[in-house]
Structure 1
Amino acid sequence: MGSSGRVTLNDVAAASGVSRATVSFVLNDDPHQTISAATRDRVKQAARELGYVPHGVARALREGSSRVVVLNIGAGMEGHYSRTYIQGLDAELAAHDHVLLVRHGRHTPQSTQQILDVIAPRAVIHFGETYLTGRELDDLGGGWRDGLAAHSAMQLRHLVEHGHEHVAVALPETGSPLAAARLKFTGQAARDLGVPVPDPFVMPLDRTACAEAVEAVLGGGPGVTAIAGFNDDVALRVLTALRDLGRRVPDDVAVIGFDDNGYGAHTTPALTTVHVDAEAHGRLSARLALNLDTGGLRPPPAHVVVRQSV
């Protein structure tokens, strides 16, 4: 038996008179290996008699769960923030011998329960939880210090500092779990800055409908001179709509994106946007899920990538 007291593949190999590799092939039911039925039976019998349990399963039995962490990402949540968040989450989980499973799109209670029943994950993380808290102090990745509230305010502040008081917020047609929070934080930032709270409007996917939506916004109420996109995808549709309407950017209308998806640098004019590196947020989520110390994890400050659209 191994020095740790746990039955190992070597123990099974010695008891069945075969190599460690053969034991691994048999117990993993490797279809690419030709091993006689007699040898398979001998290995499996030795494993049963010794009480061999695969290493990962043994730890799961001791801990009451597997070493898998599930991340649910809702529809319309993909972008630079989510990519860097996943990188940090995956790296931190791997450092603590855990595996990340990412689920994209909309999830029903039934499909989620199937995951829980089959995998028994160590934790299920809903993307954006640590980014959405909105607490002002010690916000664990959310709120007014280095989270969604601060970054929403940063987007609006950049427009106000460039002389734009009447701003509209363009939202995605597909919706997003973050939309309500973004509008809440942008509204609070507007009040803090002493400017009118921006009115939201939806940017459709259809190009003609996009132009109609932007035209309606520019023609209603006090003259809107700037549009803040929910993300870069939406902001790029705004740029196209303004070009279709014959409006000059930024002379007639300024446009700013959010999340810096990389495509804004290649448009004319190039898109000004808010850049957020979320690797530290992902690492933070991993440590919270594993009940580990979160000290020393600070994300780099977000910043406005200044281009030509503001």
Structure 2
Amino acid sequence: MGRSGRVTLNDVAEASGVSRATVSFVLNDDPRQTISEATRERVLQAAHDLGYVVHGIARALREGSSRIVVLHVDRGMEGNFSRSYVKGLDEELAEHDHVLLVRHGRQAPESTQKIIAAIAPRAVLRLGEIYMRGEVPSEDWENGFAANASLQIGHLAERGHTHIAMALPDHDYPLTEARLGFAREAARRLGLPPLERFVVPRPREVGGSAVGAFLAACPAVTAVAAFDDDIALRTLTALRDLGRRVPEDLAVIGFDETEHGSLSTPALTTVHIDAEVLGRIAARAALGIEAGGLSPVLGRIVVRASV
């Protein structure tokens, strides 16, 4: 059986005693191929017995689209979350004979239209689009993006911190407001005072001045929840330049773990998120296939020395 326990074309081919290409021709009902009725029935029976799902591919062919799915990954979303999401999306699409095309950075509408006109993709996805539209499914607070943001605030609260600030990037990333909104709601649910916010800009000297000015204006803050690991590391650098001790004077926690956090001094506590299953769910949705019991996996705190 295929990876992750999912049935693939190779499994059907082995069970029916024909080549992978023959299985593809049968399941796609390719009119250009002449295949005996006995072989066709054997392949269809094997696919049925194994539970192989062909609906998405068949529909793609009927609708005249290609077997390409396009994913847009906006600037500021290149962490572990996006890498694991792309991995799951790519592998699930491959298991259903589709190909993933990933586009990074800011995408103008006209360039997207050119892609659609050129390759007629089966679907065009945008990482995190549902949150950019301001939609938050109720289950998101159980195991989704909101729940992972809540983990970050909850970890600080468990360590006794009540006055918490959110460190944000100096660019308007698509998910900035969603992340801030989730963190504020998490603090409210925990009965904490309203979350403060500040920006940590580049370059280093400017960032240090911004952090220093914020701490002077909000001396009650004892912990910082950063937008991501990059912002957390900028904050650690600014605090070190200001002569502040971490975590004695101020605790800092990152988000969406990168390898750089383990190399900092002190090593960065952060939230690790594995989004592979989300990528697989998105792939199935794009192909018109039911999720089949797949569900998101809640992130986890990677405890190091900064909290």
| TM-score, normalised relative to structure 2 | 0.79
Instruction: Report which structure shows greater RCO (CA 8 Å, sep ≥6).
Output: 2
1:97 paired to 2:122: no
Letter of the 2:288 partner, please give it: N
1:128 paired to 2:125: no
1:161 paired to 2:162: no
Deviation of the 1:222 alpha carbon: 4.8
1:273 paired to 2:265: no
Question: Where do 5+ consecutive residues of structure 2 fail to align?
Answer: 1-24, 35-57
1:6 paired to 2:3: no
Structure 1 segment 233-244 matched on structure 2, within 5 A:
233-244=230-241
- The match for 2:291 among 290, 294, 297 is 294
Structure 1 segment 75-86 matched on structure 2, within 5 A:
75-86=75-86
Deviation of the 1:124 alpha carbon: 0.4
Contact 2:131 2:178 in 1 (8 A): no
Structure 1 segment 1-310 matched on structure 2, within 5 A:
6-7=31-32, 62-129=62-129, 133-137=135-139, 143-310=140-307
Deviation of the 1:167 alpha carbon: 1.0
Inter-partner Cα distance in structure 2 for 1:125 and 1:5? 28
Inter-partner Cα distance in structure 2 for 1:236 and 1:222? 21
Inter-partner Cα distance in structure 2 for 1:158 and 1:59? 46
Contact 1:228 1:255 in 2 (8 A): yes
Contact 1:90 1:99 in 2 (8 A): yes
**Identity across the alignment (%):** 56
Contact 1:250 1:308 in 2 (8 A): yes
Inter-partner Cα distance in structure 1 for 2:268 and 2:101? 33
RMSD: 2.0
Deviation of the 1:303 alpha carbon: 0.7
Q: Which has the larger radius of gyration?
A: 1
- Out of 280-289 and 166-175, give the one that drifted further: 166-175
Contact 1:72 1:104 in 2 (8 A): yes
Letter of the 1:84 partner, please give it: S
SS at 2:106 equivalent:
coil
> How many corresponding residue pairs?
256
Contact 1:76 1:175 in 2 (8 A): no
Distance 1:93-1:130 versus aligned 2 partners, 3 A rule:
farther
Deviation of the 1:136 alpha carbon: 1.8
Query: What whole-Å deviation, never above 9, does each CA across 1:202-242 have from its counterpart, x for those lacking one?
Result: 11120001111111121113511111110001100100000
Inter-partner Cα distance in structure 1 for 2:159 and 2:199? 24
